[in-house]
């Protein structure tokens, strides 16, 4: 009898323990941010516009609030919507939201190495090193200005060669921007007619466009399935391997020719650090991280800024009055002879405001790069479990009606005060914010300002079909908003 009683009590104890575990789990789940009901396997994908998912998510947030849970297939994601929620998470709770969620597409390419998708000590070591090294080679200083100014002269010369005939500026702009990166990373620039360079830039452009396609996002949701079916994603991976082979060759050349006492570029500095730490087991300075980080810098430093410059030309053609006002300001402050420099920016408030508004309106990466909960996170009374993707919706920051007078219109007045002086807006976050903000923000800002000012100093831009033919809506959207391509006419001034 006692034996049966003890078994019964044990069974009751186990049942009560299980009920408690389920109750705690349920209570924890109930503290998740609210969100739409998810379906098995597909989650909430059926509720998202595959060509502009950020628009669907912004609409869902009107029902579920600025912090909401949405399932991307089987993967749980918490979306942060609007300036207040994004700032509170990325800036005020920066440590909690410093993790990076690696989209499977990126993970397949870099295997977790490199700067962009790494976490923990790897990311800390690589970020600090990259920021200090780029600074040593002139980022934010006169040396960087001179590098960009020199490349601007090469770009202007190639545009002059078009002799007023319509041309697609995509490749020329990519060449100019990529050459600045190449000087910093590889210690050399490439001729615009170098066939191998053209091939590499084509790969960068193709992969950026592909990653902004619905097919790439399908890969990110169901990588285990997509690996087993044919499609363009396999071609894309093969192209990226070609890019990595080029980087490996450049690293090999650097190893054979470097002088430790006189580093030429980023690769030399990395190799020197790797040699210093070769006996240190915790060092992240090895070839896998070098290849992946150079790939990160090469891709992220070229295509997003190139797309922004291409969009700039579209804006200038669509709004010729804005183009003329910028040119007048540049003529008054700089003239036609001297090269623009970063010191001129404070004296060119209208030009600066237009460049900022171009970045806001293009909204190049509308959902940012995903963050990741490396441990359980408490935010606004909710529990975000470890392993959850966290996606700061930069689109909703750059279009926040509480921060911008006319969020859906192109309006340089967003960055001008009542005296026509430039004014900052805290919701201007195209490079994100916090501990995972873009490492190349200073470089991108320098390139955009100097290239745009120098091009307007020398040329007026138009197209044969006239301003009304220009459509500023993206050609396609997903990870990135990719601007439409037009043949432009550059008329020397």
Tokens, residue 347: 């004296």
Q: What number of helices (H) and strands (E) belong to the chain?
A: 17, 10
Virtual torsion, Cα 204, 206, 207, 212, nearest 10 deg: 130
**Which pLDDT score is estimated for 117?**
86
What is the spatial distance between Cα 215 and Cα 163, in angstroms, rounded to a whole number? 40
Q: Select from 301, 326, 350, 13 the least CA-distant residue to 182.
A: 301
Domain definitions of the chain by residue range: 103-365+404-492
What is the spatial distance between Cα 84 and Cα 449, in angstroms, rounded to a whole number? 28
470 SS3 class: coil
Angle between helices 170-185 and 441-458 (to 10 degrees): 130
**Which pLDDT score is estimated for 4?**
55
**Which pLDDT score is estimated for 367?**
87
**Which pLDDT score is estimated for 22?**
47
**Which pLDDT score is estimated for 21?**
46
Say what the pTM is. Answer: 0.89
**Which pLDDT score is estimated for 20?**
41
Token pair 């010369």 in the structure block, residue: 157
Q: What angle do CA 12, 16, 17 make, to 5 degrees?
A: 115
pLDDT tens string, the chain, 493 residues long: the values are 455 545 555 565 555 445 444 434 544 555 899 999 999 888 999 999 888 888 999 999 999 999 999 999 889 999 999 999 999 999 999 999 999 887 888 888 888 899 888 888 999 999 999 988 887 776 545 578 888 999 999 999 999 999 999 999 999 999 999 999 998 888 889 999 999 999 988 998 888 888 878 788 888 888 888 888 888 889 999 999 999 999 999 999 999 998 888 888 899 999 999 999 988 888 999 999 999 999 998 888 888 899 999 999 999 999 999 999 999 999 999 999 899 999 999 999 999 999 999 999 999 999 888 899 989 999 999 999 999 999 999 999 999 999 999 999 999 999 999 999 999 999 999 999 888 988 888 889 999 999 999 999 999 999 999 999 999 998 877 778 889 999 999 999 9
What is the spatial distance between Cα 201 and Cα 238, in angstroms, rounded to a whole number? 15
**Which pLDDT score is estimated for 332?**
96
Q: What angle do CA 239, 172, 162 make, to 5 degrees?
A: 140
Fold of 103-365+404-492: Cytochrome p450 (1.10.630)
Measured CA to CA in angstroms, residue 57 lies from 69, 242, 432 at distances of: 10, 36, 18
What is the spatial distance between Cα 263 and Cα 257, in angstroms, rounded to a whole number? 10
What is the spatial distance between Cα 156 and Cα 212, in angstroms, rounded to a whole number? 30
**Which pLDDT score is estimated for 11?**
60
**Which pLDDT score is estimated for 27?**
42
Burial of 230 (0-12, 13-18, 19+ CB in 10 A): exposed
* Largest pairwise CA distance in the chain: 104
Give me Rg for the CA atoms of the chain: 25
């Amino acid at each position: 009898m006692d034996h049966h009683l003890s078994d019964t009590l044990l069974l009751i104890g186990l049942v009560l323990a299980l009920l408690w575990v389920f109750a705690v789990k349920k209570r924890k789940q109930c503290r998740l941010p609210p969100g739409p009901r998810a379906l098995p396997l597909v989650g909430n994908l059926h509720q998202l516009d595959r060509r502009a998912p950020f628009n669907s998510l912004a609409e869902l947030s009107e029902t579920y609030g600025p912090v909401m849970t949405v399932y991307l297939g089987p993967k749980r994601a918490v979306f942060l919507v609007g300036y207040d929620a994004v700032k509170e998470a990325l800036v005020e709770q920066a440590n909690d939201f410093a993790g990076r969620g690696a989209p499977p597409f990126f993970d397949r390419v870099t295997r977790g190495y490199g700067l962009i998708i790494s976490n923990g000590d790897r990311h800390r070591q690589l970020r600090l090193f990259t920021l200090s090294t780029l600074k040593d080679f002139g980022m934010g200083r006169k040396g960087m200005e001179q590098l960009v100014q020199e490349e601007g002269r090469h770009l202007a010369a190639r545009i002059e060669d078009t002799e007023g005939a319509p041309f697609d500026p995509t490749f020329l702009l990519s060449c100019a921007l990529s050459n600045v990166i190449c000087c910093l990373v590889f210690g050399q620039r490439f001729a615009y007619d170098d066939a191998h360079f053209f091939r590499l830039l084509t790969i960068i452009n193709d992969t950026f466009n592909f990653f902004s396609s619905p097919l790439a996002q399908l890969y990110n949701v169901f990588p285990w399935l997509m690996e087993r079916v044919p499609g363009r994603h396999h071609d894309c991976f093969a192209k990226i391997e070609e890019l990595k082979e080029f980087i490996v060759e450049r690293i090999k050349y650097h190893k054979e020719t470097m002088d430790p006492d006189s580093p030429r570029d980023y690769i030399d500095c990395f190799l020197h650090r790797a040699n210093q730490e070769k006996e240190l087991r915790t060092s992240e300075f090895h070839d896998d991280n070098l290849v992946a980080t150079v790939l990160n810098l090469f891709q992220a430093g070229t295509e997003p800024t190139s797309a922004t410059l291409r969009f700039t030309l579209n804006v200038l053609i669509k709004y010729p009055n804005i183009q003329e006002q910028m040119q007048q300001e540049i003529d008054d402050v700089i003239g036609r002879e001297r090269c623009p420099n970063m010191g001129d920016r404070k004296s060119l408030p209208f030009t600066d405001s237009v460049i900022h508004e171009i970045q806001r309106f293009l909204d190049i990466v509308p959902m940012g790069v995903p963050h990741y909960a490396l441990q359980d996170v408490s935010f606004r009374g909710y529990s975000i479990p470890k392993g959850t993707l966290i996606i700061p919706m930069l689109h909703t920051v750059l279009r926040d009606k509480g921060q911008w007078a006319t969020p859906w219109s192109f309006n340089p007045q967003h960055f001008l005060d009542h005296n026509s002086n430039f004014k900052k807006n805290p919701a201007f976050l195209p490079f994100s914010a916090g501990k995972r903000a873009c490492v190349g923000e200073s470089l991108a800002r320098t390139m955009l300002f100097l290239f745009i000012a120098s091009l307007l100093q020398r040329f007026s831009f138009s197209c044969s079909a006239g301003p009304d033919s220009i459509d500023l809506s993206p050609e396609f959207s997903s990870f990135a908003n990719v601007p439409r391509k037009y043949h432009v006419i550059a008329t020397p001034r």
